[in-house]
Structure 1
Amino acid sequence: MKKIASRLRNWLEFPVLLAGLIIAGGLWGFEELMEMARATTPHAFDTEILLAFRKAGQPDNPIGPA
């Protein structure tokens, strides 16, 4: 019985560890994004995001379908 319990614990250990790392990475990425958003003024942050979807040198011409 102990052998079965040991195998089960070892089998479950990796998926649980992987899920924890994915969650921690997502939280860290979200925290970094929020830190960047707070470092700039709201208008500047929004403008930077919107200009990322425009052609360089032509801010009045958006990328994508008309």
Structure 2
Amino acid sequence: MDKEKKTTIYKLILGAGIPLVYSVTFLPPDITVSQSIYALVSFVVIMYFAIKTLKYFKII
């Protein structure tokens, strides 16, 4: 790997990891791990279809 790809990978990991850790600290104590995983998967699926729809209608 060249230096630019390594830098991009580090930015991606930090850009996703820091908000993830930050959001975990604000979870209510009565939420289980399975509920949080289900919510995360649901969010990713909704975002995927929203972006696909926007691209289909050539909005983005």
The normalised TM-score by structure 2 is 0.46
Name the structure where strand makes up a greater proportion of residues: 1
The normalised TM-score by structure 1 is 0.43
Question: Which structure: larger Rg?
Answer: 1
Q: Which has the higher contact order (CA 8 A, sep 6+)?
A: 1
